[in-house]
């Protein structure tokens, strides 16, 4: 079977893009294929075809490659000159569940929006985008996906010369907050309305007969849900510019992100983020700030009182999702607001101990009702401090309906044993840069099952070695 295309963006929004062919590699090397997603897309192709379509010279049959124009607030400053500088929307497809997806090739050569950029992406950043999006997906975090990773023969100059590569991103939509900001600031009223209708018809058909304000409320809620997942799983995005925010509330555009090792609420993963604007604990307020930008952009469609009322829903929606996720991580059958102090004091304990964030939750699943202590106390520098928190936790479990075995099963299904630690990504990148892609394949396979213990992979569940802690990641990609 072949992909089923319906390139509506190309048809309906000629003023919001430039048609642009892929400038592929002469010798594309296919490094990773997401076979599950390929199957979901009914994409039945040889590896040679995949390498050609998603990195080489061959035009994807049925595609209509184009560079989208958008704008956005970068580090708080409005930039009207943005757009796909190096990525191309290859086309819009329908999967075997009739769900729409955009296929987007990142690193496909310079476009009219490249400004001074070379239009390319390096192997390092392409590996990072592929692995992170798939790792988040398998953790249950709303995110874009990755279909293929292709490396090329082209040298690309960054701080040093690196190998060029392309990642094929599959996203339910590539419409960003920045698309609406562009339409608003340029006075493109009919495009603004049409863009909103396009998103609704494609993705939220239940809103078809609703007033426009309900669309914005949906974006607020979806964004809150995404941020709750980031905070609950210790994911720092690093570059929360409004052009990197998907209108659907999927994690979008992966740069210098980090999956937290030690719990550090103030973690700044982006080496270039001097003021900590995008620090881990600032993510909720920045998301709200971004929603304010979107509200401004939607003001020609929606009354300001309605926009303000929707924005006010963000904080309670985020708190509700977060409580639910954290309650599950702690094994509570039904967490309530009364559990917030227990959750917060656990986080304070982890921060004080510089304890590994995800492992700390995994260890808790050994708790037994009626016990006075938890075996994982030995992992703590100050076990007696842990004991005093654990006493409260055990009291709370005693009042909970779930038995020990059920609770352990539930906890192990939401608390990952394996995450995409920065140093694990770095090991795979270094090996791949030296021509050995076996570590990349191993890590990708591991991250597809983050909750299940896998044979021979115990080292991957350990805390990072000293060299692998606090690796700085730059924005250059
Ligand atoms: P990002 O930080 O990856 O979200 O990119 C911000 C903007 O810069 C987007 O408009 C990108 O398309 C553009 N951009 C980033 N890197 C390059 C590059 N190497 N060549 C051309 N445009 C780029
Ligand atoms: Mg971007």
Nearest residue CA, atom 22 of ligand 1?
Answer: 85
Please give, one letter per residue, the 3-state secondary structure of the chain: CCCEECCHHHHHCHHHEEECCCCCCCCCEEEEECHHHHHHCCCCCCHHHHHHHCCCCCCCCCCCCEEEECCEEECCEEECCCECCCEEEEEEEECCCCCEEEEEEECCCCCCCCCCCCCCEEHHHHHHHHHHHHHHHHHCCCECEEEEEEEEEEEEECCCEEEEEEEEEEECCCCEHHHHHHHHHCCCHHHHHHHHHHHHHHHCHHHCCCCHHHHHHHHHHHHHHHHHHHHHHCEECCCCCHHHCECCCCECCCCCCEECCECCCCCCCECCCCCCCCCHHHHHHHHHHHHHHHHHHCCCCCCHHHHHHHHCCHHHHHHHHHHHHHHHHCCCCCCCHHHHHHHHHHHHHHHHHCCEHHHHHHHHCCCCCCCCCCHHHHHCCCHHHHHHHHHHHHHHHHCCCCCHHHHHHHHHCCCCCCCCCHHHHHHHHHHHHCCCCHHHHHHHHHHCCCCCCCCCCHHHHCCCCHHHCCCCECCCC
- pLDDT, residue 476, reads 81
Among the bound ligands, name the one nearest to the CA of residue 270: 1
- State which ligand 1 atom lies nearest to the alpha carbon of 74: 6
Structure tokens that stand for 151 in this block: 């490396």
Q: Name the nearest CA neighbour of 176 among 307, 79, 279, 305.
A: 79
Report the DSSP beta bridge partners of residue 74.
77
- State which ligand 1 atom lies nearest to the alpha carbon of 84: 12
CB 118 within 8 A of CB 7: no
Nearest residue CA, atom 8 of ligand 1?
Answer: 85
Ligand 2 center to residue 74 CA distance, Å? 10
Distance CA 454, CA 336 (A): 34
**Under 8 Å CB-to-CB from 464, ≥6 apart: which residues?**
261, 421, 422, 423
Ligand 2 center to residue 223 CA distance, Å? 17
Nearest residue CA, atom 23 of ligand 1?
Answer: 85
Ligand 2 center to residue 369 CA distance, Å? 48
Among the bound ligands, name the one nearest to the CA of residue 70: 1
- pLDDT, residue 2, reads 86
Nearest residue CA, atom 11 of ligand 1?
Answer: 85
- pLDDT, residue 383, reads 97
Is 44 known to be catalytic?
Answer: no
Most informative mutation of 17, 74, 86 for ligand 1 (most atoms within 8 A of CB): 86
Most informative mutation of 79, 117, 251 for ligand 1 (most atoms within 8 A of CB): 117
Torsion angle, alpha carbons of 187, 188, 189, 193, to 10: -140
Ligand 1 center to residue 305 CA distance, Å? 35
- State which ligand 1 atom lies nearest to the alpha carbon of 87: 12
Burial 254-289 (b: 16+ CB within 10 A, else e): bbbbbbbbbbbbebbbbebbeeebbbbebbbebbbe
- pLDDT, residue 353, reads 97
Ligand 1 center to residue 236 CA distance, Å? 20
pLDDT one digit per residue (tens) for the chain, 477 residues: 789 999 999 999 999 999 999 999 999 999 999 999 999 999 999 999 999 999 998 899 999 999 999 999 999 999 999 999 999 999 999 999 999 999 999 999 999 999 999 999 999 999 999 999 999 999 999 999 999 999 999 899 999 999 999 999 999 999 999 999 999 999 999 999 999 999 999 999 999 999 999 999 999 999 999 999 999 999 999 999 999 999 999 999 999 999 999 999 999 999 999 999 999 999 999 999 999 999 999 999 999 999 999 999 999 999 999 999 999 999 998 899 999 999 999 999 999 999 999 999 999 999 999 999 999 999 999 999 999 999 999 999 999 888 999 999 999 999 999 999 999 999 999 999 999 999 999 999 999 999 999 999 999 999 999 999 878 777 788
End-to-end CA distance of the chain: 35
- State which ligand 1 atom lies nearest to the alpha carbon of 243: 4
CB 12 within 8 A of CB 49: no
Among the bound ligands, name the one nearest to the CA of residue 85: 1
Distance CA 209, CA 358 (A): 43
- pLDDT, residue 154, reads 87
**Ligand 1, pocket residues at CB < 6 Å:** 82-87, 110, 113-114, 117-120, 239, 244, 253, 255
Ligand 2 center to residue 190 CA distance, Å? 25
Distance CA 57, CA 74 (A): 33
In the block, tokens 């995450």 appear at 419
- State which ligand 1 atom lies nearest to the alpha carbon of 241: 4
- pLDDT, residue 374, reads 96
Burial 386-411 (b: 16+ CB within 10 A, else e): beebbeebbebbeebebebeebbebb
User: Among the options 102, 243, 250, 261, which is catalytic?
Assistant: 243
pTM above 0.85, yes or no: yes
């Amino acid at each position: 079977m072949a992909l089923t295309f319906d390139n509506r963006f190309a048809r309906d929004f000629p003023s919001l893009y430039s048609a642009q062919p892929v400038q592929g590699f002469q010798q594309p090397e296919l490094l990773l294929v997401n076979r599950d997603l390929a199957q979901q897309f009914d994409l039945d192709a040889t590896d040679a075809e995949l390498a050609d379509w998603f990195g080489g010279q061959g035009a994807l049959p049925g595609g209509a490659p184009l560079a989208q124009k958008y704008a956005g607030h970068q580090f708080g400053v409005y930039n009207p000159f943005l757009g796909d500088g190096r990525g191309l929307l290859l086309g819009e497809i329908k999967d075997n569940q009739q769900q729409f997806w955009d296929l987007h090739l990142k690193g496909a050569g310079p476009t009219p929006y490249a400004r001074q950029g070379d239009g390319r992406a390096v192997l390092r950043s392409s590996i990072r985008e592929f692995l992170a999006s798939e790792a988040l997906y398998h953790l249950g975090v709303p995110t874009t996906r990755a279909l293929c990773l292709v490396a090329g023969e082209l040298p690309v100059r960054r701080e040093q010369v690196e190998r060029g590569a392309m990642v094929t991103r599959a996203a339910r939509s590539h419409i960003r907050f920045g698309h609406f900001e562009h339409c608003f600031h340029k006075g493109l009223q009919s495009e603004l309305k049409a863009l909103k209708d396009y998103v609704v018809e494609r993705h939220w058909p239940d809103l078809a007969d609703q007033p426009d304000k309900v669309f914005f409320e949906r974006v607020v809620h979806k964004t809150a849900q995404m941020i709750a997942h980031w905070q609950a799983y210790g994911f720092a995005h690093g570059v929360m510019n409004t052009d990197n925010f998907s209108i659907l509330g999927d994690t979008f555009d992966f740069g210098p992100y980090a999956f937290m090792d030690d719990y550090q609420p103030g973690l700044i993963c982006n080496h270039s983020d001097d003021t900590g604007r995008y620090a881990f604990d600032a993510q909720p307020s920045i998301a709200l700030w971004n929603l304010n930008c979107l509200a401004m952009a939607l003001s020609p469609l929606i009354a300001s009182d309605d926009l303000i009322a929707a924005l006010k829903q963000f904080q309670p929606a985020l708190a509700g999702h977060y409580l639910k996720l954290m309650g599950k991580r702690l094994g509570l059958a039904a967490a309530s607001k009364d559990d917030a102090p227990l959750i917060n004091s656990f986080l304070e304990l982890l921060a004080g101990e510089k304890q590994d964030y995800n492992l700390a939750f995994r260890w808790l699943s050994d708790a037994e009702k009626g016990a006075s202590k938890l075996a994982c106390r030995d992992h703590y520098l100050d076990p007696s401090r842990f004991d005093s928190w654990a006493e409260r936790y055990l009291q709370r479990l005693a009042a909970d309906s779930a038995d020990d075995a059920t609770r352990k099963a539930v906890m192990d299904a939401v608390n990952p044993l394996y995450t995409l630690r920065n140093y694990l990504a770095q090991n795979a990148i270094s090996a791949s840069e030296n021509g050995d892609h076996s570590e990349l394949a191993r890590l990708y396979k591991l991250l597809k099952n983050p909750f299940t213990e896998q044979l021979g992979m115990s080292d991957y569940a350990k805390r990072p070695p000293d060299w692998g802690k606090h690796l700085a990641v730059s924005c250059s990609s």
